[in-house]
Amino acid sequence: MEDDEFRDRVSSLLSMGPEDSWVRKRFTPKRAVYILTFVLFLNYVDRGIVTGSANSIKGCVADISLCGYLKHRQPCPGRPVTNSTCDQCRICGDICDDKIVTQSGFGINSTNLGVLQSMFMVGYVVGALFFGHMVNRVAPFKLISLGLFLWSVASFGSGLAGYTCDTKGGAHLCVSYYFLLAFRALSGVAEASLNTLSLPFLDDILDPSTKGFYIGIYYAAIPCGTAFGVIWSGIIADATGGHWEWAFLLQAPIMLPFALLSYSAPFRYKIRENFMEDDGQSLLQISLAQNIFACLRQPAFVFGILGYAMYTGVVAGLGFYGPIFIQDYRPCDSNWDIGQSQADSIFGIVIGLSGLVGTIIGAQLVDRIASDSNGRKNKNALVMQLILQLGGGLLFSLIGINMLRPVWFFAILFIGSCFVFMVSTGINLMLMWTVPRVNRPMANSLTVFAIHSLGDVPSPILIGYISDHHTPLFTLSITLGCILFAMLFWFAVLFVPVNIPQEDIDFDIDDSLLIDSYTSLE
């Protein structure tokens, strides 16, 4: 009986095309979940490439004065310069690993590398606002298709930017570095199409009793994709003598079939079809300002995204610089003599496995929380779960980074990472459930805007600056401490009400104001 009610609810929300359509027969909702998960995996492989080949992209610098705090380092007693020092800041023409150091990248420092990641996030934020607003006018899967096509173009361009590094600007900086900045920004715009529009679709087509688990599988693609990208790019850079560009060039064509498949997807939201006049004009005209205001008038949503921004800044920043920190963590300890390929592999395995385990466990814990008639979980129970998980992640991570032996360092850090990744499903569902249904795409867009503009747009630059002037241990400690601010913002969510309209169509047709019939997540 409950299954029939769920199918009726899905049918009331989504139009799936003619019954006899070959596309509908093959493109079922569950298959759409699997396809979206794999596409998300590819998106994060792309992000992991820059992380995994960071030192190859940085290349070598002209002299020691450009190496930040490393220029003051004294050689380790009784030991020559280690592989880790060479990997962290290589001087063009020096000898590392019995080879003369040549230019493999752009001749940049960690701060410039952080700008590269931040430009990706700027594009991501702009794309999220664009796609979040356009979904009221264009079918969601058509917009996703456009984004995936642009992703392939950006990936191909990112690879070409490296191969055109033959003209030097000031201080030996390759001019084509700026072309790579532009293509990474375009990649961010493209990726936003999927991440902004997919979650409302998954929320509608998944059974409430297993929704958390399947959305957990979807979000597990984030750490798994990042880890694969880190390992993949490191292998490519080593196998090609530092030519990291091939990692981008080889992945570019893989997304094109999925762009075509998304364009053919039969799913349409009936919210747009049910409010059309005879001349084809929509009765449901929601302006951008009204769309944004409907989300920001919910204090739980505002506190939630502020905490999520702090969390994202920490996770994204440490994920971006992780392999570099590992290479230069304890330079005078022979146990920590770790090169780029080893660092990429170790970091990728830790992040991939902890992300998979943590996300799935967190998703199953979400499913254990009681649901209301609309499939939404109790807000306070969900938020308390998120706070405890993040607190556990902070505790274990701080213990782990102070371990002297690598085996204990990575083992305890793995446990901490599992706790940190447990929040992925819960926080995204909680934010979406704090706004009216019709505003969910815009809520996702505002979430993307906040967590990136306040989180992982500035964090790579700030962490890069700190790491250029301080040790990895100091940088890690300061960065992890910012998790406390995320916990405080989420703690505030416990004390504010969440009132949302209970109808599927949440706007009064006459004046586009929210209707007065509310339900609560309390």
User: Quick check: helix, strand or coil at residue 519?
Assistant: strand
Q: Tokens 């970091």 identify what position?
A: 347
Query: Per-residue b/e over 441-471, b at no fewer than 16 CB within 10 Å?
Result: bbbbbbbbbbbbbbbbbbbbbbbbbbbbeeb
Closest CA to 510 of 336, 252, 285: 285
The answer to whether residue 80 scores a pLDDT higher than 70 is no
| pLDDT value of position 305 | 92
Strand 268-269 to strand 14-15: parallel, antiparallel, or no bridges (unpaired)? antiparallel
pLDDT of 378 > 70? The answer is yes
Q: What is the DSSP string of 221-289?
A: HHHHHHHHHHHHHHHHHHHTTS-THHHHHHHGGGGHHHHHHHHT---EEHHHHTTB-TTS-BS----HH
Domains of the chain, by residue range, sit at 23-70+80-265+286-500
What digits encode the pLDDT tens for the residues 184-217?
A: 999 999 988 888 788 777 877 777 777 778 888 8
Mean predicted lDDT score pLDDT of the chain:
75
Question: What is the reported pLDDT for 261?
Answer: 84
Query: pTM for the complete prediction?
Result: 0.69
Q: Which of 65-79, 163-177, 269-283 has the lowest mean pLDDT?
A: 269-283
For 154, counting Cβ atoms within 10 Å of its Cβ (0-12 exposed, 13-18 middle, 19+ buried), the class is buried
- Architecture of the domain defined by 23-70+80-265+286-500: Up-down Bundle (1.20)
Considering only residues 166 and 281, tell me which one the structure prediction assigns the higher pLDDT.
166
Tell me how far apart the 2 most distant CA atoms of the chain are, in Å. 85
Is residue 471 within a helix (H) or strand (E), and if so which, with residue range? none
Q: Give the H/E segment covering residue 183.
A: helix 177-205
Q: Identify the bridge partners of residue 189 per DSSP, sorted by sequence position.
A: none
CA distance 7 to 206: 10
DSSP 137-165: TS-HHHHHHHHHHHHHHHHHHHHHHHHT-
Closest to 87 measured CA to CA, from 294, 440, 336: 336
pLDDT at 235 over 60: yes
Cα dist from 171 to 58, 72, 168, 357, whole Å: 13, 20, 8, 45
Measured in whole angstroms, the distance separating CA 150 from the mean position of its chain's CA atoms is: 18
Q: What are the tokens at 238?
A: 């080593």
27: enclosing H helix or E strand: none
- Banded pLDDT at 262 (limits 50, 70, 90): confident
Query: What pLDDT sits at residue 73?
Result: 55
**Residue 14 DSSP symbol:** E
pLDDT tens digits for range 107-145: 776 677 778 877 887 888 888 888 877 877 777 888 899
Confidence class of residue 23 from pLDDT cuts 50, 70 and 90? low
> Whole-angstrom Cα distance, residue 174 to residue 474?
31
State the pairing for strand pair 499-501/518-520.
antiparallel
pLDDT tens track for 310-351: 998 888 877 777 777 776 666 666 777 776 667 777 877 888
